[in-house]
Amino acid sequence: VTAAGEGPVAILAGGGGLPMALVESLRRRGRSPRILAFRGFADRRLARLSDGIADTLDVESVLATLARWKPALVVLVGAVNRPAPLAVLSAFSAYRNRQHLAELMASGDDGLLSAVIRLLEERGFTVGRIDELAPELLAKQGVLGAVAPAPEAVAGISRGFSLLAALSPFDVGQAAAISGTRVIAVEGPEGTDAMLKRVKRIVGRGVKDRRGVLVKTAKSSQDLRIDLPAIGPRTVLRAAAAGLAGIAVGAGATLILDESRTIATADRLKLFLVGHGTNATTS
Amino acid sequence: VTAAGEGPVAILAGGGGLPMALVESLRRRGRSPRILAFRGFADRRLARLSDGIADTLDVESVLATLARWKPALVVLVGAVNRPAPLAVLSAFSAYRNRQHLAELMASGDDGLLSAVIRLLEERGFTVGRIDELAPELLAKQGVLGAVAPAPEAVAGISRGFSLLAALSPFDVGQAAAISGTRVIAVEGPEGTDAMLKRVKRIVGRGVKDRRGVLVKTAKSSQDLRIDLPAIGPRTVLRAAAAGLAGIAVGAGATLILDESRTIATADRLKLFLVGHGTNATTS
């Protein structure tokens, strides 16, 4: 299923470093993807490389571009903020009835992205998975850096993954922070960076020995064509600033942007970085 | 079991309006409780009425005072911030061994409060439950104000209570915010007010019709001798400011401070206020 067919891979590119990482990965494999960059989200370097620019909500123009490109696969990648409700309503109004639109707006982020994927499939496009196109971008299992987690942190990691599994049916955050066995924060739509600021306020004051852990993974029911959770060097910096001892991500269910720099940053700051094996990650 | 025995009810009073509400409730029943106010937490009016003032961490002085009063029942009531780890360690060091202390510090807030309750019981005190001493302070079931929730909000309430039930084993927040069926925030140790600020940032921008709901209830496994979650007039004000349509609390598992003013505030701001019946509340 991995990008068979004649056409190119079309990348619908949002923000962050992931779209560029995917482009580079595909090029290393001798494939040149077509890039449609989302205005205001895709970074400048990527936008310069792109074959087209579109507004996230200009569904019509996105579909028209894809129809011209006739891609073998379409991949959605990179962060796109949830747009304002009324904007979504008007963007989708040509494609969905009122009832469907209301459900769409009331659903979680995954609900919205699933709707986009369904729309693409209805138009005959095949939507690809980044873990199949560029498996090397996914977190591997085991201790990834030079620092191993203390036994106490291992208990925290296990508790964190149980918590995220319990939250899976609710389409809420894909990350949490645990200190000891105490849950310190659960990520909502505000994202990991904002959650880590909260963690800093809660554990930061006067903690001498860092003991907390950031856990992050895809929901167990996650459609892997939908943007996977990701960490990168910045996540490590923020976790360190929040007074955490390390980061555990779901192996095969989380992306690591700029892996070598992410690991080097963790090593330098003496944070552990662990790819946690779960049974429920690849569905 | 309701405060039999000869001695008075001893109230260990933290912050917020609840200790005063309990004092007034007991007085209406013709009982005059002894009040030990926690310095820096108990409000001024209550501190003036109190029979003693103690630092939350001065375990020795608290136990000595209680030993003098010989209360039939001790009740812990009102908010007390989680103290800094090192302070707890030194306060409890006379009563707990190192291993126990480490577990205590690593556990959630309930773990810490449970340890206090165990210590009191070891010293021969009976720890009472506010829902037995002053049942009228607990949320009743049904629509409590003038506004009824829309069908969409009812779905959100139901999703919110399912979410809180799923979180119960993790000793994390007792509140969440849902919009439609989308989970917008899960409360951590930062508390409901801070969570509602986050909600305001997430849903606040440009939402014309309020649709979200704040849900709040005790954990299904909660020891009801431990401070119950509470709402009051201020919660209603903050929920309104966050753009929510209403509040649903666990009937019999949440306290309503100053109920008449809380309901009046909700009515004035056109928020619904619902006591949600759950099976798992009274254990």
Taking the C-alpha atoms of residue A276 and residue A215, their distance in angstroms, rounded to an integer, is: 9
Q: What is the pLDDT confidence band of residue B282, given thresholds at 50, 70 and 90?
A: very low
Long-range Cβ contacts of B120-124 (<8 Å, 24+ apart): B120/B63, B120/B66, B120/B74, B123/B63, B123/B66, B123/B67
Phi then psi for residue A75, to 5 deg, are -125, 130
Exposure letters A15-46 (e unless 16+ CB within 10 A, then b):
bbbbbbbbbebbeeeeeebbbbbbeebbbeeb
Question: In chain A, what percentage of residues exceed pLDDT 90?
Answer: 45
Looking at residue A148, what is its pLDDT? 97
Residues composing chain B:
283
Tell me what the mean pLDDT of segment A139-152 comes to. 95
Which range (A74-83, A96-105, A156-165, B235-244) has the least confidence?
A96-105
Structure token digits, residue A135: 């498996």
* Of A86 and B64, more confident: B64
pLDDT digits (tens, 9 = 90+) for B120-170: 888 899 999 888 899 999 999 999 999 999 998 999 999 999 999 999 888
Checking if the pLDDT of B54 tops 80, the result is: yes
Taking the C-alpha atoms of residue A231 and residue A233, their distance in angstroms, rounded to an integer, is 7
3-state class of A230 per DSSP?
strand
Chain A residue nearest residue B203, CA to CA: A84
Least confident of A134-138, B111-115, B137-141, B265-269: B111-115
pLDDT at B94: 63
Site from A99, A105, A172, A207 to mutate, B interface, most B CB atoms within 10 angstroms = A172
Higher pLDDT, residue A181 or B244: B244
- Asked whether residue B93 carries a pLDDT value surpassing 80, the answer given is no
Determine whether B213 is exposed, middle or buried from the number of CB atoms within 10 Å of its CB (0-12, 13-18, 19+). buried
Distance from CA of A42 to the nearest CA of B (A): 22
Q: Measure A193 CA to nearest chain B CA, in Å.
A: 13
Looking at every residue in chain A, the average pLDDT score rounds to 84
Q: Under 8 Å CB-to-CB from B34, ≥6 apart: which residues?
A: B8, B9, B10, B11, B51, B52, B69, B71
DSSP E strands in chain A: the ranges are 9-13, 34-38, 52-54, 73-77, 142-143, 175-179, 182-186, 212-216, 230-231, 244-250, 255-256, 272-276
Interchain contact, A166 vs B162, CB within 8 Å: no
The pLDDT score that the predictor gives to residue B281 is 40
Phi, psi of B125 (to 5 degrees): -85, 150
Q: For residue B107, is pLDDT > 70?
A: no
**Chain B residues inside the 8 Å CB shell of A152:** 106
Q: What is the mean pLDDT of residues A247-271?
A: 95
State yes or no: pLDDT of A177 exceeds 60: yes
**Mean pLDDT throughout A4-23?**
84
**pLDDT tens, residue by residue, A190-238:** 889 999 999 998 876 545 567 899 999 988 767 767 768 889 999 999 9
∠ CA B38-B41-B45, rounded to 5°: 90
3-state secondary structure of B90: helix
Q: How confident is the model at residue A202, as a pLDDT?
A: 83
| Cα–Cα dist A247/A8, whole Å | 36
CA A163 to CA A127: how far, in whole Å? 30
Tokens describing residue A16: 């962050």
Q: What is the pLDDT of residue B273?
A: 98
d(CA A66, CA B13) in angstroms, rounded, equals 65
| Tokens 């306020």 sit on residue | A201
ipTM of predicted assembly, 2 dp: 0.76
Mean pLDDT calculated for residue range A32-43: 87
B181 reaches A (C-beta below 8 A): yes
> How confident is the model over A58-80, as pLDDT tens digits?
778 888 999 999 999 999 887 66
User: Is the pLDDT at B280 greater than 70, yes or no?
Assistant: no
